[in-house]
Amino acid sequence: MKAIKKALKEIGEILNRVLDALLGQNQPQPELIPIPVRNNSRRVNRY
């Protein structure tokens, strides 16, 4: 359960970054988004 809650929290943070990038049109953020997504997919595969 802890792993699931942690994953959901991380996904929520990524979604917030995506929304901030789309709404705010900030240039640096879209480049940072793919990196945490890749890390999360690796973590999911381990469990």
Specify the pLDDT at position 27: 54
* Predicted local confidence at residue 30, as pLDDT: 54
Residue ranges per domain, the chain? 2-46
- pLDDT the model gives residue 34: 57
Helix 2-24 to helix 34-46 angle (10° resolution) is 160
Of 33, 34, 3, the residue nearest 21 (C-alpha) = 33
- Condensed to tens digits (0 to 9), the pLDDT of residues 1-47 reads 899 999 999 999 998 888 887 777 655 555 555 555 555 555 555 54
